[in-house]
Structure 1
Amino acid sequence: MSSGAGRVGRPRTRAGDGSGRSARQEILDAAAALFGESGYAATSTRAIADRVGIRQASLYYHFAGKDEILLELLEASVRPTLDVVDALRSAAPDPAAALHALVVVDVATLLAGPLGIAALYVAPEVQQPRFEEFREHRRQLLAVYCDLARELLPAGHPVSAEVAGHACLHLVEMVATLPPTPGLAEQVALTCLGALGLHGERAAAAARGGDRARSGLAGSLR
């Protein structure tokens, strides 16, 4: 992450938006919006600074450049989930409950940030070496989904654990395209369970176990 987190920016060209967000968070939000509107390559640090209402030089008090901004946005979309994976799996009574808890937490992580960030995962720039840290963390998260799918799929199932794990992760990452309905995270979790053949009472039991696992770790979750 940025080494400039503690820096103090220069005066703004206009007042803040009154939301109580820090200048650093305003920069992240503005950058995410512009990356979604114009694409990463076409967005300049000057455009980001103008959107926030600060001088371009002030932006560099918080971030070394556009790459660092994007890396922080990408990391914020995976690291909060990855940081609690082991605890969730330990707290869950079985793999089905662990999958339910993981999906609910992962959806919450994505919804807590700018909704268009997942769309940037496949951007050509994100495939460059400077974003390898993020790609490795996403691979680690994907591996958890695949491991859980492997534990849940019966022997001889025609779908491989790798395909099932990828499918669950992609279901999570598409939440930005879905209407913001109540209980969305739980619905996505049940969809993932259903994709692995867990329906009815089996899915309901997994949801109960997942909820208990998450409630036991409430202090560690968003």
Structure 2
Amino acid sequence: MGAARAGAGRRVGRPRAAQRPDSGLEPREELLAAAAELFTSLGYAATSTRAVAERAGMRQASMYHYVSGKEELLALLLESTVTPSLAYARELLADDATPAEKRLWELCRADVEVLCGGPHNLGVLYLLPEVRDERFAGFHAVRDELKDAYRQLIAATAAGGALSKGALELRTDLVFGLIEGVILVRRSDPDRSVSVFAEATADAALRIAGV
């Protein structure tokens, strides 16, 4: 970081380990960016807090000034893959003037763009065994709320309204599974056009939903 930002948003006594080009990010965001790169390229277990700190251009001790450790970074990254879609889902649920089928398609499209639109395939972090732990309850809570938004939109369609409770739950599981499954497709074909991929996935999701 340049000298002009050396003290911005920081406390005294938290010097950088090395100079880096100014990314325009605050220290916490720099740590998240570094963690995203290392967790998805090297693996979560193989990435040390020292490596994250050094990649962000700070000393390891300084890292704990902004986050509690590697676990918090993982939790924040996981939640970042869900919270934008959840916020949009809430807007779509409140939009009674738009047909449910169109809202469902739009949520599927937007959700895929969130999962695939960043510089790193953060969705692969879902596959980590550590994520099943109760320590990531915050991520699971927002993910469950997003999945329920899918269920409500499917139920609001003409096809979904005719389903039994069990059939509706199954359709929701299948649609939600398809959306989250894009992380595996992106891993095998990272150069695929995100917008085209998102629209094609939304089309497929509506067919699964019976629309």
Is residue 7–residue 62 contact of structure 1 (8 Å, CA) maintained in 2?
no
- Structure 1's 83 and 156: CA in aligned 2 closer, same or farther, altered over 3 A? closer
Compared CA separation, residues 7 and 67, structure 1 to 2 (3 A): farther
CA pair 111-20 structure 1, distance change in 2 beyond 3 A: farther
Question: What code does the residue aligned with 1:171 have?
Answer: L
Matches within 5 A, 1:102-181: 102-113=107-118, 115-152=120-157, 153=159, 155=162, 160-176=167-183, 177=186, 178=189, 179-181=191-193
Distance 2:16 2:192 in 1: 34
Q: Which residue of 18, 28, 33 maps to 1:29? A: 33
- In terms of mean alpha carbon deviation, does 68-77 or 25-34 score higher? 25-34
In 2, the alpha carbon distance for the partners of 1:18 and 1:174 equals: 35
TM-score normalised per structure 1: 0.74
Instruction: Tell me if 1:87 matches 2:91.
Output: yes
Runs (4 or more) in structure 1 with deviation over 6 Å come to none
Change (3 A) 1:62 1:112: farther
Matched, 1:62 2:66: yes
Partner Cα distance (1:52, 1:156) in 2: 50
Residue correspondences, number: 192
Considering Cα pairs closer than 8 Å and 6+ residues apart, tell me whether 1 or 2 has the greater RCO: 1
Q: TM-score, structure 2 length as denominator?
A: 0.78
Inter-partner Cα distance in structure 1 for 2:94 and 2:69:
39
C-alpha distance in 2 between matches for 1:40 and 1:11: 26
1:57-104 Cα deviation digits (max 9, x unpaired):
121121111111111111111112212322212225221011012112
Contact persistence 1:7–1:61 (CA under 8 A): no
The one-letter code of the counterpart of 2:35 is A
- The 1:187/1:127 distance shift into structure 2, 3 A limit, reads same
Determine the structure 2 residue equivalent to 1:193.
206
Which amino acid is 2:147 matched to?
L
Match of 2:64, SS state, is: helix
Aligned-residue sequence identity (percent) comes to 39
CA pair 71-113 structure 1, distance change in 2 beyond 3 A: farther
2: CA distance, partners of 1:125 / 1:37: 17
Aligned-residue RMSD, C-alpha? 2.5
Give a deviation string over 1:6-59, Cα, whole Å, max 9, x none: 654823222224432333222112212222233322321111112222210121
- Aligned counterpart, 1:219: none
Distance in 2 between the 1:115 and 1:160 partners? 35
**Partners of 1:161 and 1:114 in 2: how far apart?**
35
**Residue 183 of structure 1: aligned partner:** 196
